[in-house]
């Protein structure tokens, strides 16, 4: 029997990136907030201290910062006709655990999405005609426009000290930035990171081909930086331990550096660590949530936390799972197309090649998570899709983030897998190669969705979330197209060895890392018939329940998801202040 706790105003389920940003807005107005987080605070632990922070085996290969699969994983099948099996050690994406969530171990690649992305269906219908969008591609508009989000993007970039070069200042295209950028009111708060040798080579090659390379906007601080809250970032050390690690130099803008330490000093804020939320408590008749039930992972005891407002702010997968478990809204049925919860599940379409240079020193260990050089000509709807047979695209970039020797080392194709020749190839090429990749969109397909697994359970006896998921035709065609562009750029670099890029194919592979950007399941939109939450992220079937995270994205763009997520979370915080003052459908 769960012990019933004192009533609170707003309870957040999951103490990561979005909870911290929304809680920042709420607690600034003195609103009572409690954040429930299943993991620990890793400040001043082995994860954030030298020399243990630089341990590739522990943090990268063994994934000590990630969700513990022995406790909770997901099942996978490629279509409805198969029986899903549990992914016993997931590699394809890396949800986090602990104060700050997955945003502690991110690389820091921080985009605003294209101006047309929040109105994608309208954009494609206007440009290519209504019939051009295949019936199985369930893309839709967000219900909120870029213009409405711009000031939140601006605020987020200042809070996180994003380093970059504007490409479009108030409609005027800027030399050196992204010419396809959505118009911004202000320049980035920090100048771009210094370019890597790979970036130099990539820039020369792409300019030769007529493209406009620019520095990828980065949440790796080029200098010491103080944000508008007075919180500080250190200078990036280009240590090559960014993604999958927590920055020990406090130079990677993350919730555990910039947000939680500040929030924990605010009177109306409480962070309750090592609390695993089991259920959202739903009063179906009243169409309201009444609180949450959780287990204290230290004592094993169960608690009920009543609240006026519940915000689901956990990872994409868990947000969807909580709704399915509580029976809030209707689970998506791919056969009838009815139901919304679990629909439009998407990932990222990645492909790339390695270019090898005998005489150029790439020194991959002199890099940071986002010190990359990129072109945006083939992203989203930045190019004409007429006759191509697919929609979407991706940015193409010189993808060097580290030289960690277990996982990032590469030898030319055809090298034996062991022996003296293998060793010599490692010695010859380690410092002399880099990857050119496409970071591609993933548009929703009617048959790609998540629901509750009928067989497998987690450590708490609850069903695992099941992915019915594969790489469908749209993404496969797009990947072929982007891979050819990669090959043209690779050739233009003058590399000694540039093997052809293998486009992304099915079946969807749980054992190959793509990105941690899985999206959808609780999608946003203007119409309760085609979305789970409103454009204010308010649940259509429970007025005092809000959902924030990439689970609300109706599709995944060719950009990293964090920028709009930051903007949406800050906007949600303001909306919640409004709601708490006057509860209603916003």
Partner 1 sequence: MTNDQSDKTFHPNRRGFLGVAAATGAASLAPGVLIGTAGLAEASEPAPSQSVDASASTIAAKLPSPVPGYLSFGPDEAGFVEVMVNVMCPADALTPGGVDCGLAAYIDRQLAGGFGKGARLYMRGPWREGKPELGYQLPLTPEQFFKAGLAAADAACRKRNGKAFSELDEGGADRFLHEIADGKVTDERVQLASWFNELVYPLFEQACFADPVYGGNVGKVFWKAIGYPGLPAVHSQDMVDFRGKPFPGAADPKSIADFA
| Cβ-based nearer residue to partner 1, 90 or 497 | 90
Check residue 111 for interaction with partner 1 (CB under 8 A).
no
d(CA 243, CA 59): 10
> C-beta of 215: minimal distance to partner 1 in Å?
14
Number of residues that bind partner 1 (CB under 8 A): 65
Note whether 235 binds partner 1 by CB under 8 A: yes
Distances (CA, A) of 457 to 51, 230, 448, 509, 522: 38, 44, 21, 22, 22
CB atoms within 10 A of CB 480: 17
Query: Which residue in the list 105, 432, 517, 536 is annotated as catalytic?
Result: 517
Examine residue 29 and tell whether it contacts partner 1 (CB under 8 A).
no
Q: What is the per-residue DSSP string for 141-165?
A: --SS-HHHHHHHHHHHHHHTT-B--
Among 30, 129, 454, 507, binds partner 1 (CB under 8 A): 507
52 binds partner 1 (CB under 8 A): yes
Interface with partner 1, residue 57, by CB under 8 A: yes
Secondary structure percentages of the chain, helix, strand, coil, to 5: 25, 20, 55
Which residues, including other chains, have CB under 8 Å from residue 421's CB and lie 6 or more apart? 415
Other Cβ atoms less than 10 A from the Cβ of 302: the count is: 13
DSSP 476-535: HHHHHHHHHHHHHHHHHTT-SB-PPP----SS--TTS---S--EEES-B-S-TTS-SB-T
Considering the rule CB under 8 A, would residue 209 count as an interface residue with partner 1? Answer: no
Binding status of residue 173 toward partner 1 by CB under 8 A: no
> CA separation (Å) from 280 to 93, 309, 325, 399?
25, 11, 8, 41
54 lines the binding site for partner 1 (CB under 8 A): yes
Shortest separation between residue 392's beta carbon and partner 1, angstroms = 22
Candidate list 26, 182, 259, 367; residue touching partner 1; CB under 8 A: 367
Interaction residues for partner 1, span 444-463 (CB under 8 A): 455-457
Alpha helices, DSSP H, located in 197-331: 197-208, 255-258, 260-263, 316-326
Nearest alpha-carbon partner for 369 in 456, 239, 524 = 239
Task: Tell me if residue 62 is catalytic.
Answer: no
Which residue in 390, 307, 275 sits closest to 583, CA to CA?
307
Dmax (CA) for the chain in angstroms is 72
DSSP tag of 48: G
Could you say which of 116, 196, 290, 483 contacts partner 1 (CB under 8 A)?
196
CB of 46 to partner 1, least distance (A): 11
Rounded least distance, CB 440 to partner 1, Å = 19
Among the residue ranges 25-33, 81-89, 175-183, 309-317, the one whose residues contact partner 1 (CB under 8 A): 81-89
Which of the stretches 87-95, 137-145, 446-454, 515-523 binds partner 1 when contact is defined by CB under 8 A? 87-95
* Residue list 369-388, contact with partner 1 (CB under 8 A): 371
| Paired strand residues for 467 | 76, 450
Assess 403 for contact with partner 1 (CB under 8 A): yes
Structural contact between residues 503 and 539, judged by C-beta atoms closer than 8 angstroms: no
Closer of 72 and 474 to partner 1 (Cβ): 72
Judge contact between 312 and 522, C-beta under 8 A. yes
Tell me which of 13, 21, 36, 76 binds partner 1, using CB under 8 A: 76
Out of 238, 540, 553, 579, which residue is the one contacting partner 1 (CB under 8 A)?
Answer: 238
* Residue range at the interface with partner 1 (CB under 8 A); choices 27-35, 233-241, 288-296, 381-389: 233-241
**At closest approach, how far in Å is the CB of 405 from partner 1?**
4
Q: Which residues bind partner 1 (CB under 8 A)?
A: 50-52, 54-57, 61-63, 68-70, 73, 76, 78, 83, 85-91, 194-197, 200, 235-241, 360-361, 363, 365-367, 371, 403, 405-406, 409, 417-420, 423-424, 426-427, 430-431, 455-457, 507-511
Which amino acids are annotated catalytic? 517
């Amino acid at each position: 029997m769960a012990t019933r706790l004192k009533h609170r105003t707003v309870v957040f389920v999951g103490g990561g990136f979005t909870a911290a940003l929304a809680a920042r807005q709420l607690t600034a107005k003195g609103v009572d907030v409690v954040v429930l987080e299943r993991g620990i605070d890793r400040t001043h632990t082995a994860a954030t201290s030298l020399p243990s922070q630089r341990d590739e085996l522990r943090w990268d290969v063994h994934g000590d910062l990630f969700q513990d699969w022995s406790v909770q994983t997901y099942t996978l099948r490629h279509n409805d006709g198969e029986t899903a099996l549990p992914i016993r050690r997931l590699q394809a994406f890396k949800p986090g655990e602990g104060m700050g969530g997955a945003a502690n171990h991110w690389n820091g690649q921080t985009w605003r999405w294209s101006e047309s992305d929040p109105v994608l269906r309208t954009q494609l219908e206007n440009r290519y005609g209504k019939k051009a969008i295949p019936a199985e591609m369930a893309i839709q508009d967000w219900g909120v426009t870029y213009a409405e989000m711009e000031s939140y993007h601006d605020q987020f970039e200042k809070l996180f000290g994003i380093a970059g070069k504007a490409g479009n200042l108030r409609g005027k295209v800027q030399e050196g930035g992204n010419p396809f950028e959505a118009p911004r009111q202000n320049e980035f708060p920090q100048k771009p990171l210094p370019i890597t040798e790979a970036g130099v080579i990539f820039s020369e090659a792409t300019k030769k081909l007529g493209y406009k390379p620019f520095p990828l906007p980065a949440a790796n601080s080029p200098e010491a930086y103080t944000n508008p809250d007075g919180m500080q970032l250190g200078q990036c050390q280009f240590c090559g331990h960014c993604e999958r690690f927590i920055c020990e130099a406090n130079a990677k803008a993350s919730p555990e550096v910039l947000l939680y330490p500040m929030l924990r000093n605010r009177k109306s804020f409480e962070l309750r660590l090592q609390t695993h939320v089991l259920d959202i408590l739903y009063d179906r008749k009243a169409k309201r949530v009444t609180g949450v039930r959780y287990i204290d992972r230290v004592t094993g005891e169960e608690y009920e936390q009543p609240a006026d407002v519940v915000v689901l702010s956990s990872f994409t997968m868990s947000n969807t799972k909580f709704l399915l478990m509580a029976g809030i809204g209707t689970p998506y049925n791919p056969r009838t197309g009815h139901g919304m919860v679990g629909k439009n599940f998407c990932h990222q379409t990645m492909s790339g090649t390695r270019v090898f240079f005998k005489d150029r020193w790439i020194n991959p260990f002199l890099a940071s998570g986002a010190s990359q050089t990129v072109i945006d000509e083939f992203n989203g709807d930045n190019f004409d899709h007429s006759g191509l047979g697919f929609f979407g695209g991706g940015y193409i970039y010189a993808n060097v983030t580290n030289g960690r020797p277990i996982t990032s080392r590469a030898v030319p194709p055809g090298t034996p897998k062991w022996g003296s020749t293998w060793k010599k190839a490692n010695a010859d090429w380690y410092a002399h190669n880099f990857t050119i990749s496409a970071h591609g969109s993933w548009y929703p397909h009617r048959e790609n969705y998540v629901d509750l697994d009928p067989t497998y359970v987690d450590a708490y006896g609850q069903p695992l979330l099941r992915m019915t998921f594969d790489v469908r035709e749209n993404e496969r065609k797009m990947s072929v197209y982007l891979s050819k562009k990669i090959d043209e750029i690779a050739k233009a670099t003058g590399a000694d060895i540039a093997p052809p890029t293998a486009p992304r194919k099915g079946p969807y592979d749980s054992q190959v890392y793509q990105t941690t950007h899985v999206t959808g399941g609780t999608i946003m939109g203007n119409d309760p018939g085609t979305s789970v939450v409103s454009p204010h992220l308010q649940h259509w079937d429970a007025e005092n329940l809000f959902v924030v995270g990439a689970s609300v994205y109706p599709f995944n763009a060719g950009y990293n998801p964090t920028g709009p997520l930051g903007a949406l979370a800050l906007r949600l915080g303001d909306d919640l202040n409004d709601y708490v003052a006057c509860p209603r459908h916003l």
